[in-house]
Amino acid sequence: MTVKIPMPALSPTMTEGTLTKWLIKVGDQVKAGDVLAEIETDKATMEVEAVDEGKVEKLIVEEGTSNIPVNSTIAILDGDDKDQNEGDQDQTKDTVGKIKKKEILDNNVVKKSSFEKKLGKKIIASPYAKSLAKKDKLTLDNIIGSGPGGRVIKRDLKNQKTSQSSIKTSQENISAPSSMRKIIADRTVKSKQTVPHFYLTIESKVDKLLQLRKKINENFGTKISINDMLVKALALAQMENPLTNVSWVEGQVIKYSSVDVSIAVALKEGLITPIVKNADKKGLIEISKEIKELVNKAKTGKLQPDEYTGGTISISNLGMFGIVEFSAIINPPQSSILAVGTIKKIPGVIEEEIRPISVLKSTLSADHRVLDGAVAGKLLNDFHEIIEDPFDLWLKSSDMEII
């Protein structure tokens, strides 16, 4: 009996992936639980296990192939030649259908995925267009024809030549984006186009917060960062403001019972947001250790889907780069994200004397479909009060002792 191995959906947001490496070859006997391949998703590289047993008859997709749609056939177990041909046809039909939905026409130039090219799609072009393309060293598989039946004609080549010339003059090196970068591009564009953002900024004096951090690090073995403390403070603020612990999903308001803070982590390929779950209930030391573990997993591509899927609010910190203030893009379906900058020393009046004070600017981006200005403003103000007078931050940390 033929068993078709599909491209698995390894995360809720995954629609396509890249097959980076086969760990089997034609003729191998596999059983359920055997690792078949390594798949690069929008978040990490993960191993794919077999759910059936049988002999490997055909590997349809080559190593390094990208843009493979979820559920399309990538290999066949125990199949005869007829079954293999049917598998190839199913693969072609599913993949081409998927890709056609994503094509965007712009001056008759089409952005084709590398996966479609590998399927060997037939190009229809006039004899003159073919000779002209050969002369000018243009590839016909990147062009959609405007002639009868989609035939590539002379004017299509002119458009393509003009487009390539424009690209070459402004950009010497062109490379395909990673799976993660493409997902980030899609999600951020969709967020900015469909989520009505509004922004609130507040300035906080954080001298007491810095003093508390210094005392904790002097008295405990684990060193905590300012970011660890901000995560805890944001969690406490959202816990005190349950009206902000919501999402707008398909015209409905979803309310959450837990407070799960997503942390923006920069990777070479893009950005990922691992989650500190139930952060309002955890101590500062516990949060600090958990963040270190999540960041290490993120940088080594070992995060599991449940470690970055979900979250009720996000925090993005660019203070280490000297950024004073910025506005972040909301990470749907969350309804808000807090952007924090660097801590600066400025002159301030304390007890009628001018003294240096440490200030931190924080900007909350909020979804106006589900959060009004007063509701979001109270969340930000509560966060501000916690970090200005961090007694509650220490008091509500279960792993803190008297210091």
- pLDDT digit string, tens, across residues 152-180: 777 777 766 555 554 444 556 777 888 88
pLDDT score, position 115:
40
Who contacts 179 (Cβ-Cβ below 8 Å, separation ≥6)?
16, 17, 18, 40, 41, 42, 66
- Exposure of 184 in the CB half-sphere (CA atoms within 13 A): 17
Residue ranges of domains in the chain, CATH in brackets: 3-102 (2.40.50.100), 122-170 (4.10.320.10), 181-395 (3.30.559.10)
- Is a pLDDT exceeding 60 seen at residue 112? no
Residue of 102, 117, 289, 368 marked active site: 368
pLDDT score, position 241:
98
- Is a pLDDT exceeding 50 seen at residue 85? no
The tokens describing 162, both together, are: 């003009």
pLDDT digits 0-9 by tens, 388-402? 999 888 888 877 765
Angle between helices 373-388 and 207-219 (to 10 degrees): 50
Mean pLDDT of the chain: 83
Task: Give mean pLDDT, residues 127-138.
Answer: 76
Task: Give mean pLDDT, residues 311-339.
Answer: 97
- Is a pLDDT exceeding 50 seen at residue 101? no
CA angle 396, 398, 399 (to 5 degrees): 125
**pLDDT-derived band of residue 99, with 50, 70 and 90 as boundaries?**
very low
Lowest-confidence segment of 175-179, 200-204, 214-218, 316-320 by average pLDDT: 175-179
Beta strands in 79-139 (DSSP E): none
Active site residue 197: no
- Is a pLDDT exceeding 70 seen at residue 119? no
pLDDT score, position 110:
37
**pLDDT-derived band of residue 12, with 50, 70 and 90 as boundaries?**
low
**pLDDT-derived band of residue 81, with 50, 70 and 90 as boundaries?**
very low
Task: Give mean pLDDT, residues 111-120.
Answer: 40
By CB neighbour count within 10 A (0-12 exposed, 13-18 middle, 19+ buried), where does 234 fall?
A: buried
pLDDT score, position 234:
98
CB 240 within 8 A of CB 231: no
- Exposure of 197 in the CB half-sphere (CA atoms within 13 A): 20
Beta bridge partners of 254: 247
Cα separation, 376 vs 366, whole angstroms: 7
- Is a pLDDT exceeding 90 seen at residue 272? yes
By CB neighbour count within 10 A (0-12 exposed, 13-18 middle, 19+ buried), where does 333 fall?
A: middle
**pLDDT-derived band of residue 257, with 50, 70 and 90 as boundaries?**
very high
Residue 236: strand, helix, or coil? helix
- Is a pLDDT exceeding 70 seen at residue 122? no
- Is a pLDDT exceeding 70 seen at residue 90? no
> How distant, in Å, are the alpha carbons of 60, 94, 122, 126, 170 from that of 157?
33, 29, 17, 11, 20
- Is a pLDDT exceeding 60 seen at residue 103? no
Higher pLDDT residue, 186 or 378?
378
pLDDT score, position 326:
97
pLDDT digits 0-9 by tens, 227-254? 999 999 999 999 999 999 999 999 999 9
Higher pLDDT residue, 184 or 164?
184
pLDDT score, position 402:
58
DSSP 401: -
Residue percentage of the chain with pLDDT more than 70: 81
- Is a pLDDT exceeding 80 seen at residue 375? yes
The tokens describing 56, both together, are: 């490997």
Who contacts 344 (Cβ-Cβ below 8 Å, separation ≥6)?
324, 358, 359, 360
Lowest-confidence segment of 88-97, 209-218, 260-269 by average pLDDT: 88-97
- Is a pLDDT exceeding 60 seen at residue 113? no
Who contacts 142 (Cβ-Cβ below 8 Å, separation ≥6)?
109, 110, 112, 160
**pLDDT-derived band of residue 348, with 50, 70 and 90 as boundaries?**
confident
